[in-house]
A and B are shown apart, each in its own frame.
Chain A
Amino acid sequence: MISLAGRDILHSWSKFVLTGIGLGLLIGVTLTMAGVYRGMVDDAKALLNNSGADIWVVQQGTQGPYAESSNLRDDVYRALLTQPGVSRAANVTYLTMQVRVGNTDVRAMVVGFEPGQPGEPGYLVAGRQITRSHYEAVADMKTGFQLGDTLRIRRHDYRVVGLTRRMVSSGGDPMVFIPLKDAQEAQFLKDNDAILNERARTIANPVLNRPGVPGLLDAILASQNANHNVNAVLVQIASNIDPEHVASEIRRWKHLQAFTRAQLEDILVSKLIATSAKQIGMFLVILSIVSAAIVAFIIYTMTLGKIREIAVLKLIGTRNRTIAGMILQQAMGLGVIGFMVGKTAATVWAPFFPKFVLLEQGDTVRGFIVVMFICALASTLAIRVALRVDPATAIGG
């Protein structure tokens, strides 16, 4: 038996291909939206993986260094090292800010870390790790920085000595790694005017500046200018130890909040990017409806243009299921063309997106199934019209 749908598509292939391209671009946008969501999830996982930690210790009552702000004293790690099962612990700071290079600035997450400790960038694609105590930086390639570039962070300049990749925040901002002391200063230290202002206020306060207590004022001023805060302590545990057990011990005895990897992943995926995911989900639903409407309209219009032929086909004995199959196959054909165009378009334009777009094989398969389902659904309107055609209309009178 001849494939009526195939012949019709070949006969008017230009119309099909052009329509398929239009539909394909829409499908491409849909696949890209799914890829944006996957990219966000992957960014979150990359953030956790790249930190090299098994447990994140943060300020009590907060949800970690990424979802909420957290302040800890920078000597907490020492107490954590005494905890059974903990093999390494290191301070880190995280600060999302605009990092200037020349006259431009780039939004980045500045990470303060201690070289050789958890939190250090896992691998470099160019240059070297930070070896000096101050004013050196390692940047993710997505910042666009080059080796030797000079960055401005707050009051100091940093030289890029190494480049890394896939080191991003949960929001997709590339990371810039600098020494911990510099990062603490960048995040917690006030500017000179504020320090002078604060000093004047303290001197003017008779409670803090008592004439009969020598050394008190100096001690208070030193305390105000000192900076001993960090955002989190990254903990690595010895092998064969249950992370949840160690985390619960830290929560119980150190009065700190401790998250295992699974718990922090849950916070990142189901809380931090949940709103964005719902936003993308809404877009996906709308795009699916628009795609279905377009396919339905196109197939319906094409069917209306063939009413006489369908009447003749019915008159000469073509079964309803053959005619319905023809329309269904055309809708599916349109879907296949559209999906191929969409997949190609999404693959081509994904690397140009500012944030990571992850096109997963599974999403491609699911997307294809959804497109085919939508096309089948959209063809029902045209099929209803075709099946209602009276074969008698082929005969005049």
Chain B
Amino acid sequence: MKGFGIHIEGLRKRYGEGNAAVDALKDVNMTVAPGEVVGLIGPSGSGKSTLLKCLGAVIEPTAGRMTLGDEVIFEDGWKIPDLRALRRDRIGFVFQAPYLIPFLDVIDNVALLPMLAGKPNGEARNRANELLEALDVGHRAKAQPSQLSGGEQQRVAIARALANQPPVILADEPTAPLDSERALSVVRILNDMAQQFRTAIIVVTHDEKIIPTFKRVYHIRDGQTHEEKGLGAGKSEF
């Protein structure tokens, strides 16, 4: 991967038409470098989830340009024909709740993505094992998700997001259900993983505890992003 982790220019998203039209995103500009973790904060209804859905190729932006690595993936329309494959191979997702597949054990929850991408089972499980070890949950590889604590589940979810080595991970309030200690632990892991795998990570959060840990934070308000540097740079344990 060269250049940007992810780069967004003038992204807009309009819902509805005519008088009923609502501009959820008006002018979003954002750049996240490989290995960087940035925060995305904003009040409810500011457009965070819409932005995340656009970045996740789940909904189509109305206008703008998105570049992933060195490839333009959106410019007044998707440039990638298979968005499902784009999400599978090049975007990792971490949700507010872990949303692990309850009928798969931990290792297969992680190995599922490489398998979906066509990797042989053995190779996919080896990759999953490596990630679980790196995230310190390797000893729970054969456990069922319901047998894990909330923090362990979230670490497995992070491992799943990393399974196909995507250039970007979108984390939607990943620390919301966790206490302070575990929330900070999750952010520390995200930072470590970003460094280790050169992944650009965007963390949408309301969590006051973790905001100071980001070196850069994008504030989204009325559908527009404003970069706020130095919110926590150098002040946190990171």
Binds B, one of A19-27, A96-104, A234-242, A307-315: A307-315
Q: Give the chain A neighbours of B111 by CB distance below 8 A.
A: 2
Within 8 A of B (CB), among A1-35: 1-2, 4, 7-8, 10-12
Given the known inter-chain contacts A7-B104, A317-B113, A318-B116, please indicate yes or no for A395 contacting B84, CB distance below 8 A: no
Cα A185 to Cα B92 in complex, Å, equals 94
Binds A, one of B93-101, B135-143, B228-236: B93-101
Given the known inter-chain contacts A1-B121, A309-B101, please indicate yes or no for A395 contacting B88, CB distance below 8 A: no
Q: Give the chain A neighbours of B116 by CB distance below 8 A.
A: 1, 316-319, 322
**Does the CB pair A316–B88 fall under 8 Å?**
yes
Contact partner, B52, options A308, A312, A397, Cβ 8 Å: A397
Interface status of A370 (Cβ within 8 A of chain B):
no
Residue of B nearest to A1 (CB): B115
Residue of A nearest to B87 (CB): A317
What is the CB-to-nearest-CB distance from B178 to chain A, in angstroms, rounded to a whole number? 15
Binds A, one of B53-61, B67-75, B192-200: B53-61
Interface status of B50 (Cβ within 8 A of chain A):
yes
Q: Give the chain B neighbours of A7 by CB distance below 8 A.
A: 103-104, 108
Q: Give the chain B neighbours of A196 by CB distance below 8 A.
A: none
Q: Mark B72-93, 1 if CB is under 8 A from A, else 0.
A: 0000000000001101110001
Given the known inter-chain contacts A392-B59, A395-B52, A397-B52, please indicate yes or no for A319 contacting B103, CB distance below 8 A: no
User: How many chain-A residues does the 8 Å CB contact rule pick out?
Assistant: 26
Interface status of B222 (Cβ within 8 A of chain A):
no
Q: Mark B100-133, 1 if CB is under 8 A from A, else 0.
A: 0111100010011101110001000000000000
Q: Give the chain B neighbours of A8 by CB distance below 8 A.
A: 103
Interface status of B173 (Cβ within 8 A of chain A):
yes
Given the known inter-chain contacts A8-B103, A11-B102, A317-B116, please indicate yes or no for A396 contacting B88, CB distance below 8 A: no
**Does the CB pair A394–B87 fall under 8 Å?**
no
Within 8 A of B (CB), among A282-324: 308-309, 312-319, 322
**Does the CB pair B48–A316 fall under 8 Å?**
no
Contact partner, A395, options B56, B85, B101, B160, Cβ 8 Å: B56
Cα A7 to Cα B50 in complex, Å, equals 34
**Does the CB pair B101–A313 fall under 8 Å?**
yes
Residue of B nearest to A322 (CB): B116
What is the CB-to-nearest-CB distance from B97 to chain A, in angstroms, rounded to a whole number? 9
**Does the CB pair A12–B88 fall under 8 Å?**
no
Cα A339 to Cα B103 in complex, Å, equals 24
Given the known inter-chain contacts A395-B95, A397-B48, A397-B50, please indicate yes or no for A12 contacting B87, CB distance below 8 A: no
Residue of B nearest to A317 (CB): B88
**Does the CB pair B102–A316 fall under 8 Å?**
no
Interface status of A391 (Cβ within 8 A of chain B):
yes
Residue of B nearest to A397 (CB): B49
What is the CB-to-nearest-CB distance from A274 to chain B, in angstroms, rounded to a whole number? 50
What is the CB-to-nearest-CB distance from B113 to chain A, in angstroms, rounded to a whole number? 6
**Does the CB pair B108–A2 fall under 8 Å?**
yes
Q: Give the chain A neighbours of B58 by CB distance below 8 A.
A: 315, 390-392, 395
Given the known inter-chain contacts A316-B87, A319-B84, please indicate yes or no for A2 contacting B49, CB distance below 8 A: no
Cα A12 to Cα B144 in complex, Å, equals 12
Residue of A nearest to B101 (CB): A309
**Does the CB pair A315–B52 fall under 8 Å?**
no
Q: Mark A27-45, 1 if CB is under 8 A from B, else 0.
A: 0000000000000000000
Cα A29 to Cα B59 in complex, Å, equals 50
Interface status of B172 (Cβ within 8 A of chain A):
yes
**Does the CB pair A396–B172 fall under 8 Å?**
yes
- Name the residue in B52, B89, B93, B113 with the highest tally of chain A Cβ atoms < 10 Å from its Cβ: B93
What is the CB-to-nearest-CB distance from A45 to chain B, in angstroms, rounded to a whole number? 51
Given the known inter-chain contacts A1-B121, A2-B108, A309-B99, please indicate yes or no for A395 contacting B53, CB distance below 8 A: yes
Contact partner, B99, options A392, A394, A397, Cβ 8 Å: A394
- Name the residue in B56, B101, B113 with the highest tally of chain A Cβ atoms < 10 Å from its Cβ: B101
Q: Give the chain B neighbours of A391 by CB distance below 8 A.
A: 58, 87
Cα A270 to Cα B49 in complex, Å, equals 70
Q: Give the chain A neighbours of B102 by CB distance below 8 A.
A: 11, 309
Q: Give the chain A neighbours of B173 by CB distance below 8 A.
A: 396
Q: Give the chain A neighbours of B84 by CB distance below 8 A.
A: 314, 317-319
Q: Mark A197-225, 1 if CB is under 8 A from B, else 0.
A: 00000000000000000000000000000
What is the CB-to-nearest-CB distance from B124 to chain A, in angstroms, rounded to a whole number? 9
**Does the CB pair A10–B103 fall under 8 Å?**
yes
Q: Give the chain A neighbours of B144 by CB distance below 8 A.
A: 11
Contact partner, B95, options A10, A312, A314, A318, Cβ 8 Å: A312
Q: Give the chain B neighbours of A313 by CB distance below 8 A.
A: 101
Q: Mark A382-393, 1 if CB is under 8 A from B, else 0.
A: 000000001110
Residue of A nearest to B170 (CB): A395
Q: Mark B12-45, 1 if CB is under 8 A from A, else 0.
A: 0000000000000000000000000000000000
Q: Mark B181-219, 1 if CB is under 8 A from A, else 0.
A: 000000000000000000000000000000000000000
Q: Can you report 8 residue pairs joining A to B where beta carbons are below 8 Å apart?
A: A7-B103, A308-B99, A315-B58, A317-B87, A317-B88, A317-B113, A395-B58, A395-B93
3 A-B pairs with least C-beta separation: A397-B49, A317-B88, A11-B103
Q: Given known contacts A1-B121, A315-B58, what 14 new A-B pairs fall within 8 Å (CB)?
A: A2-B115, A11-B144, A312-B93, A312-B101, A316-B87, A316-B116, A319-B84, A391-B58, A392-B53, A395-B56, A395-B95, A395-B172, A396-B95, A397-B50
